[in-house]
Structures are given as structure tokens and as C-alpha cells.
Amino acid sequence: MIKKTGQIHILSINCGSSSVKFSIFEIPDSLGKKNPLLNAERIFSGVIEEIGTKFGEFHFKTKGKEDFGKLNFKDHSEAINFMIHKLGFNIANLNINIVVHRFVHGGDEFREPVVVTKENIVKLNGLTELAPLHNPSNLKGLKIMSGCMPHAKQVCVFDTAFHRTIPLYAGIYPIPLDYYYRYKVKRYGFHGISYSYINNLLSLNKKDIKKLIICHLGNGASICAVKNGVSVDTSMGYTPLEGLMMGTRCGDIDPSIPFILKEKLNISCEELYDILNKKSGLLGISQKTYDFKELLTYSDENSKLAFKMYVYRIIKFIGGYCAALNGIDALVFTGGIGENSSLLRKEVCKNLAYLGIKIDDRKNKKASEYFNKFDCHGKIKIRKQVKSIGGGKIPIFAVHTDEDIQMASEAVKLLFYEKRGAT
């Protein structure tokens, strides 16, 4: 059992529609002006999946120790109470000072992390329409945690916030302008917490990069063009459906296709939405799996086609953003696929030689071996999370992203930095 005092404890939590993911960090309460990322330690983490189904599972970890099993949870409340029970069991005298919640969509309203107030909850409720698949469960988590831990400060961090800097010409769609003003139809972009983390990590590692492309490739996938540390374009749009081909999402398609399919299949808008969000992408083409690692184990024609399409679409986006940025200074791969798959990185970079992008095969393989075994518990390893894999003019990095620690760090800065007079 871990016993801790003299520390601030932060719980980062991400409530999905049927899952809860979380990490507990501690930082010394004498942190002063020091960067939380350099001083944080992850002491516990976990995931509860398939909430509300008969296939419930939990998996908790501390350094060198795991606890997992199958258990069904009626709803998020039951799952979160189980998580709190496990925390109490593993960490003595644990006093959580801050709970930081991941919100996928902050709309136009939330461009920075905020402390939860009654006023903010009303505004957050109003955002459900923008992200019906994500925000309601984020809100559910916030309400449950506020009840369970009333003495902790509750903070929200938004995935859309990093993209607030996208200029109007890149951020709105060529449809009647009125829809932007009246209904806020524009490119919000997502994965912003991950992009912020990568940016911070590169600058902490003294990589002075002016024009950067980051590929965040997980079950959801997007690409971001970053100039002087801020987002200037990104592939996801009004919702996380736009852009790259993903595990189950289609990404970019001709906007007429949904109308044609609706007619031909005689289905409702909800069913159509379901097809594009949950039955397309790698799953739709391979007809076998949405999981990239599993896809690589198949050798049938459809699976090979799914892999080719996935790679091709990434290459097209990188080329597009290189043009938009008028050249790049570095390329980053992150997310479960971006970090772990040396094959994916190699195949993407093969077609980018004309830009001075060349993979070093040995470094590329070594980076995947390292990340495949990476244990994120204990002190945050900011130097070891960035692996240089390039062998050409343009640096290429495989980077382990850590959205939970980025959230914790943003919450600490919001709550303590002003008081301490830090910048």
C-alpha cells in the first residue's frame, strides 16, 4: 500500500460513453514556480470498460503491480464508486485535492481550462448538441465526481481549446457564411490535449521547432499543423468524424454520399450516423477489425487494402499541411498506432522522401520496442518519451503522448500558478 503526505494529489479522469479512464498524480506541495510536468509522479491508473453491458472489465495499475478482472457495472456511477474503493484500498490517507475532467468539446465558449462553477455547468450542458457522442458522458463523470469528492477542486480541460488559434480561412467551411455566424458551424478540431502535451514535451526537450506536423494515430486519428507552438490547421472538424480514415470512422468522404446511402438503404439519420462513425474506417474496409495491431496479423486482400488506404490518407494530409506551412521543420507520430507501429511510420515516410523525410530503420524499430514495453508509472519521463527516428534532413520523432498528465499540469497551473506569481 502506498502512503503519501506533503503532496498535492490530482485525479485526471476521462469518462467515455461506456468507459472510465483515470490516472492519479502527485506533485510536491512545495512546487513553487517549477513546471508540474517535471515534478509529477503517476502513482495509480486504470480503466473500466464496457460499462452498462454484460462484458464489463477493469484494469488498474501501480508501478510494477496490476489488478484486473471481469465485472459488470450498471452505470458510470457504479464504475466510479468501484474505482474510488480500489483507490482507497491501494493508497493510504489519500486526499485528492484536484479532479480534472477531460471534455472533448468546449465549443466557442471554453478556450482555456476552467474551474467548475454552477454557471459553467449550465454552459457545458449547452454544448451537448455539438458533441452528442462525447460530452454527455464527460458531464456525467463531472457530476458523479463532484458528489463523491466535494472538497476537491473540479477543473475541466477541453480537447478543442488547442485549436482556438486556427485562422478563419482554414477554420470555416465553404457553405453559406450565415451558418457559421448563426450555428457556429466551423472546424473545432480535437486531440488538443495530446497536441499540447507533444508541444510542451518538445520544448522541454529543447527542440526548437517552428513548423511542425503531428500525427495522432489511435482509435480516433487526426493530424495537426503547428506553427510557432500553436495550431493553424487540423484534420478533424465540426465533429471528430472528419479527416483521416480511423478505426471505425470514415473520415473525409464526398458529402453527397450520406444522402445517397440514406435513400438506397432506406435508413434513418441515426442509423446512417452509426454506419459512418462505428462501422466504417479500418473495420468497414477489412470487414474484420477496427484494431490496427490486429489488422496487421491478417493477410487477406481486404485487410491489406484497409492498411494501404489508411497509410495513403495520412500521406495526403502530411503533403497538404507541408504545403500549407510552406515546408516543415519536424514530423511527429504519436497515439497507440503512431507510437508503437514502426511499419506504419516506415510506410508513411517512404512517400515523403521529396520533403527530406527519411526514416532510420534501426532507430525506428528501437523506438517501437521501447514504447511497446513503456511503463508510464512513477516519475514522468519527459526525456525518454521522445524518440528521434529520422535519418534525413527533417527530424522525425515517435513520441509517447500522455493526455492525463497534460490535464493535471493544466489544472495545477490554473489553480496555483497565478497565486504563486509564476508565468
* Nearest partner of 206 among 345, 352, 374, 397, judged by Cα: 397
CA atoms within 13 A on the CB side of 263: 4
User: Is 375 a binder of ligand ADP (CB under 6 A)?
Assistant: no
Q: How many residues bind ligand ADP (CB under 6 A)?
A: 13
**Which residues are 20's β-sheet partners?**
15, 48
Rounded to an integer, what distance in angstroms lies between the CA atom of residue 202 and that of residue 215? 14
Query: Closer CB to ligand ADP, residue 7 or residue 368?
Result: 368
List the one residue from 107, 336, 390, 395 that touches ligand ADP (CB under 6 A): 336
Please work out, in degrees rounded to the nearest 5, the angle formed at the alpha carbon of residue 167 by the alpha carbons of 162 and 172: 100
Question: Cβ distance 232 to 167 under 8 Å?
Answer: yes
Q: Which of 58, 73, 188, 292 binds ligand ADP (CB under 6 A)?
A: 292
- Torsions phi, psi of 67, nearest 5? -140, 115
Is residue 335 at the binding interface for ligand ADP, with CB under 6 A as the rule? yes
Identify residues 194-233 at the interface with ligand ADP (CB under 6 A): 218-220
Dmax over CA atoms of the chain, in Å, equals 64
C-alpha 333: how far from chain center: 13
Helix (H, G, I), strand (E, B) or coil at 223: strand
- Establish if 16 lies at the interface with ligand ADP (CB under 6 A): no
* Rounded Cα distance, 83 and 264, in Å: 46
Q: Least distance (Å) from ligand ADP to the CB of residue 221?
A: 8
* Closest residue to ligand ADP in the complex (CB): 336
> Could you say whether residue 243 binds ligand ADP (CB under 6 A)?
no
The span from the CA of 75 to the CA of 17, in Å, is 10
Q: Is 159 a catalytic residue?
A: yes
Closest separation between CB of residue 296 and ligand ADP, Å?
6
Element (H, E) at 99: strand 98-103
The answer to the question of residue 284 lying near ligand ADP (CB under 6 A) is no
Provide the grid cell at 380. Answer: 514522468
φ/ψ region of 236 (left if φ > 0, alpha if ψ in -120 to 50, else beta) reads beta
Query: What would the DSSP string read from start to end of 119-152?
Result: HHHHHHHTTTTT-TTTHHHHHHHHHHHHHH-TTS
Binding string, residues 160-199; x marks residues near ligand ADP by CB under 6 A? ----------------------------------------
Instruction: Confirm or reject binding of residue 340 to ligand ADP (CB under 6 A).
Output: yes
Q: Does 350 bind ligand ADP (CB under 6 A)?
A: no
Report, in Å, the least distance between residue 34 CB and ligand ADP. Answer: 29
- Binding-site member from 36, 247, 281, 284 for ligand ADP (CB under 6 A): 247
Q: Is 248 in the site for ligand ADP (CB under 6 A)?
A: no
> What is the SS3 assignment for 377?
coil
Q: Does 420 bind ligand ADP (CB under 6 A)?
A: no
Minimal distance, residue 361 CB to ligand ADP, in Å: 16
Nearer to ligand ADP, 91 or 337 (CB): 337
Counting contacts by CB under 6 A, is residue 291 touching ligand ADP?
Answer: yes
**Shortest separation between residue 205's beta carbon and ligand ADP, angstroms:** 21
State the minimum distance, in angstroms, from the CB of residue 295 to ligand ADP.
Answer: 8
Helix 135-148 vs helix 76-90: angle between axes, to the nearest 10 degrees? 50
Query: Min. distance of Cβ 201 from ligand ADP in angstroms?
Result: 16
159, 233, 402, 404: the catalytic one is: 159
Distance in angstroms (rounded) separating the CA atoms of residues 62 and 352: 40
The nearer residue to ligand ADP, 57 or 329, going by C-beta atoms, is: 57
SS3 153: strand
* Interface with ligand ADP (CB under 6 A): 218-220, 247, 291-293, 335-337, 340-341, 372
**Active site members:** 159
